[in-house]
Amino acid sequence: MDKTKVLVTGGAGFIGGNFVQHMVSKYPEYEVYNLDFLTYAGDLSKHISIEDKDNYYFVKADIADRETIYNLFKEKEFEYVVHFAAESHVDRSISEPEIFIKTNVLGTQVLLDAAKAVGVKKFVHISTDEVYGELDFDPTTFFTEDTPLQPNSPYSASKASSDLLVRAYHETFGLPVNITRCSNNYGPYHFPEKLIPLTISRALNDQRVPVYGNGQNIRDWLHVLDHCKAIDLVMHKGNDGEVYNVGGHNEKTNLEVVKTIINALGKSTDLIEYVEDRLGHDKRYAIDPTKLEKLGWVPEYSFNSGISQTIEWYLSNEEWWTNIINGEYQNYFNKQYNLT
């Protein structure tokens, strides 16, 4: 009997990479195809432990390359598409927005067309809480699935645009879709341009840690493996056409996060350097995950257990992130921050 074929786009990145490993080990009866263009954010070294498994395949391709994507869908006839591939960093979308439109909007549309052409069983679109815009600091307010979309950055605007396309392909063509909107992830293989791995890697090297503005902006942190479990659940049990918010009620100010890490590493908080604020910096994100919990999702990690596990992982996998920060990343960092 033919095995169930699952296409994961962006599976060489942070969350997609963790999801590919989750799927390959949990479902030996599935064939998992990791399609990734290997941009600056993608790397295959994270998959050394699974690359020889007979249910794992890698395809290098650009999701916006219509001909290649169509041919692949026709050849493989995927049953499931789980779509992570994207430009994901807000700061980069402020300095260079164009690629965000190409990959996040046009790339998603190409995948939707291909999925429609072959008739998939489910198309899961991995989106973000940033499409809802920002909340104020009132701790009783949360993003629900009915919160209006009010994206503030070119990144979140591109993700909101792709969400609307996914919705439209369901309403117009009956494509069986789900959209998940998750809060900030952290955990193994998080690219060091993002706050948590940036803080860990710089503090370990006794380098200054840049905090935007006054450090009081709030993010709602979720361990990446809890996100992967949520996606697995939605993929198999989500009701067609529905949106599911993903978040674990772990709200922290950026300063709290940075100080927690610096203290855990036994370094001095004098490393903190307040730098110019991000343009259009969203104040607060906070997720109400009730709908997903009703579907059966239970997160495993508290922020304390998750951040300890993550710090341990970065200590044990120094070679992975050192290779990144010693490469092209240096140029990005120097352009983005006036820090040494």
Q: Which does 39 bind (CB under 5 to 8 A by kind): ligand NAD, ligand DAU, none?
A: ligand NAD
246 contributes a contact to ligand DAU by CB under 6 A: no
Residues constituting the chain: 340
Cα–Cα distance for residue pair 99/119, rounded to 1 Å: 28
Residues with catalytic function:
129-130, 155
DSSP state of 113: H
36 part of the interface to ligand NAD, by CB under 6 A: yes
**Alpha helical stretches, state H, 43-101:** 66-76, 90-95, 98-100
Question: 80: which 2 tokens?
Answer: 């499931």
183 makes contact with ligand DAU (CB under 6 A) = yes
Q: Is 82 in the site for ligand NAD (CB under 6 A)?
A: no
84 binds, among ligand NAD, ligand DAU, none (CB under 5 to 8 A by kind): ligand NAD
Residue-wise burial string across 290-304, b where 16 or more C-beta atoms lie within 10 A, e elsewhere: ebbeebebebebebe
The answer to whether the Cα torsion of 7, 13, 17, 18 is positive or negative is negative
Q: Are the C-beta atoms of 63 and 87 separated by less than 8 Å? A: no
What is the smallest separation between the CB atom of 299 and ligand NAD, expressed in angstroms? Answer: 14
What mask, x for binding ligand NAD by CB under 6 A, covers residues 110 to 139? ----------------x-x-----------
Tokens 């899961």 sit on residue: 124
Q: Pick one of 58, 212, 329, 332: the residue that binds ligand DAU (CB under 6 A).
A: 212
Q: Are strands 209-212 and 177-182 parallel, antiparallel or unpaired?
A: unpaired
Q: How far apart are CA 315 and CA 55, in angstroms?
A: 30
| 99 or 118: CB nearest ligand DAU | 99
Q: Binder to ligand DAU among 103, 158, 161, 254 (CB under 6 A)?
A: 254
If the CB atoms of residues 109 and 153 are measured against ligand DAU, the closer one turns out to be: 153
Question: Pick from ligand DAU, ligand NAD, none: which does 81 bind, CB < 5 to 8 A by kind?
Answer: none
Distance CA 87, CA 39 (A): 9
Please identify, among the stretches 99-107, 200-208, 211-219, 313-321, the one whose residues bind ligand DAU according to the rule CB under 6 A. Answer: 211-219
Min dist. Cβ of residue 36 to ligand NAD (A): 5
Q: What are phi and psi of 124, to 5 degrees?
A: -100, 120
Residues of span 258-287 touching ligand DAU by CB under 6 A: 278, 285
**Secondary structure (3-state) at 242:** coil
- As given in the structure block, the two tokens for residue 171 are 């309403």
Total residues interacting with ligand DAU, rule: CB under 6 A: 19
89 binds ligand DAU (CB under 6 A): yes
Reported as type and span, the H/E element at residue 118 is helix 108-118
Closest residue to bound ligand NAD by CB: 13
Which residue lies nearer to ligand DAU by CB, 73 or 186?
186
Binding to ligand DAU, residues 100-129 (CB under 6 A): 128-129
Per CB under 6 A, contacts with ligand NAD among 145-204 are 159, 182, 184-185, 191
User: Is 230 within 8 Å of 270 (Cβ atoms)?
Assistant: no
DSSP 3: P
If the CB atoms of residues 57 and 212 are measured against ligand DAU, the closer one turns out to be: 212
Widest CA span in the chain = 61
State the minimum distance, in angstroms, from the CB of residue 184 to ligand NAD. 5
Helix (H, G, I), strand (E, B) or coil at 52: coil
CB 44 within 8 A of CB 35: no
Q: Which residues bind ligand NAD (CB under 6 A)?
A: 9-10, 12-16, 36-39, 41-42, 62-64, 84-86, 88, 103, 107, 126, 128, 159, 182, 184-185, 191
Q: What residues line the site for ligand DAU (CB under 6 A)?
A: 88-90, 128-130, 183-184, 194-195, 198, 210-212, 217, 219, 254, 278, 285
